[in-house]
Structure 1
Amino acid sequence: MNREIVDAVLAFLAQDGCTDAEFEALALRLFAEQHANNAAYKRFCQLRGATPRTVKSWRDIPAVPIAAFKEVTLSCTPADSAERVFMTSGTTRGDVKGRHYHPTIAVWDASMTRNFAQRFMQGSQRLRMGILFPDEQEMPNSSLAHYLAMAVRDFGTPDSRWYVNRDGLDAAGLREMLRAAERSAEPCAILGASWSFVHLMDELAASGERFALPSGSRILDTGGYKSQSRELPLEEFYVRLAATFGVPRERCINMYGMTELSSQLYDDGNAVVPSVKSGPHWIRSRMVDPLTGRDVSRGERGILVHCDLANFNSVTSILTEDVGVAVDGGFLLLGRAEGAQAKGCSLAVQEFLQATKP
Structure 2
Amino acid sequence: MEREVLAFIREPGDEAAFDDLALRLFRWQRERNPVLASFWAGARPRHWREVPPLPVGAFKQAAVACGDPARAVAVFETSGTTRGPEVRGRHHFFTLDLYDAALLPVFERYLLPDGARLPMFILTPPPEAAPHSSLSYYFGVIRRELGGPGSRFFWDGGAGDLLYEALARALREAEAAGTPVVLLGTAFAFVHFCDRARQEGWRFRLPPGSRAMETGGFKGRSRELRQPELYALMAEVLGIPPARIVNQYGMTELSSQFYEPNLRDPRYAGFPRPKQGAAWCRVVIRDPETLAEVPDGEVGLIEVVDLANVGSCAFLLTQDLGRKVPGGFEVLGRVPGAAPRGCSIAADIVLGGSGRHPGEGA
TM-score, scaled relative to structure 2:
0.88
> Partners of 1:185 and 1:275 in 2: how far apart?
30
Pick from 177, 183, 188 the counterpart of residue 190 of structure 1. Answer: 183
Tell me the residue number matched to 1:143.
134
Per the alignment, residue 244 of structure 1 pairs with 237
Deviations 1:111-153 (A, max 9, x none): 0111111111113241101110001111001000001101110
Whichever residue aligns with residue 26 of structure 1, its letter is L
Q: Does 2:296 align with 1:298?
A: yes
Letter paired with 2:3: D
Counterpart Cα distance in 2 of 1:283 and 1:92? 29
Shift of 1:208: 2.6
CA distance in 2, matches of 1:93, 1:318: 23
Contact 1:195 1:229 in 2 (8 A): no
For residue 313 of structure 1, the aligned residue among 306, 311, 314 is: 311
SS across alignment from 2:279: coil
Give the equivalent residue in structure 1 for 2:9.
Answer: 13
Give 1:347's aligned residue.
none
TM-fit CA distance, 1:327:
0.7
Distance between the aligned counterparts of 2:104 and 2:269, measured in 1? 25
- State the percentage of identical aligned residues: 41
Structure 2 spans left out of the alignment, 5+ residues: 263-267, 340-362
Which position in structure 2 is the counterpart of 1:163? 154
Match of 1:354 in 2: none
Task: Measure, in 2, the Cα distance between the counterparts of 1:313 and 1:61.
Answer: 17
Matched, 1:330 2:325: no
Pick one of 77, 89, 93 that aligns with 2:83: 93
1:109 partnered with 2:100:
yes
Cα distance in 2, alignment partners of residues 230 and 18 from structure 1? 44
The match for 1:351 is none
| Structure 1 consecutive aligned stretches of length 4 or more whose deviation exceeds 3 Å | 225-229
- Alpha carbons 2:119, 2:150 under 8 Å: kept: yes
* RMSD of aligned alpha carbons: 1.6
* DSSP 3-state at the match of 2:88: coil
The CA deviation at 1:175 is: 0.9
After TM superposition, list the pairs within 5 Å mapping 1:1-358 onto structure 2: 5-15=1-11, 17-46=12-41, 49-50=42-43, 54-95=44-85, 96-166=87-157, 167=159, 168-224=161-217, 227=220, 229-269=222-262, 271-338=269-336
Contact kept in structure 1, 2:125 and 2:136, CA below 8 Å: yes
Query: Which residues of structure 1 form unaligned runs of 5+?
Result: 344-358
Number of aligned positions between the proteins: 331
SS at match of 2:57: helix
Distance 1:58 1:183 in 2: 53
Q: Which amino acid aligns with 1:321?
A: Q
Deviations 1:41-66 (A, max 9, x none): 111112xx20xxx2111111111111
Q: Report if aligned partners of 1:198, 1:230 keep a CA contact under 8 Å in 2.
A: no
AA in 2 matched with 1:57: H
Deviations 1:144-191 (A, max 9, x none): 000110111011123112112332121111111111111111210110
C-alpha distance in 2, partners of 1:62/1:165?
A: 43
Q: Return the offset for 1:271.
A: 3.5
* Aligned counterparts of 2:142 and 2:9: Cα–Cα separation in 1: 18
- TM normalised by structure 1 equals 0.89
Contact in 1 for aligned 2:282/2:306 (Cα 8 Å): yes
Q: In structure 2, what is the Cα distance between the partners aligned to 1:130 and 1:202? A: 18
Q: Is the 8 A contact 1:69 1:99 kept in 2?
A: yes
Structure 1 residue 228: deviation in Å? 5.5
State the secondary structure of the residue aligned to 1:276: coil
Determine the C-alpha separation between the residues in 2 that align with 1:185 and 1:146. Answer: 29
| Cα gap change, 1:226 to 1:67, in 2 (>3 Å) | farther
Is the alpha carbon distance of 1:268 and 1:251 closer, same or farther for their aligned partners in structure 2, counting shifts above 3 Å? same
Q: 1:248: how far off?
A: 1.9
3-state SS of 2:183 partner: strand
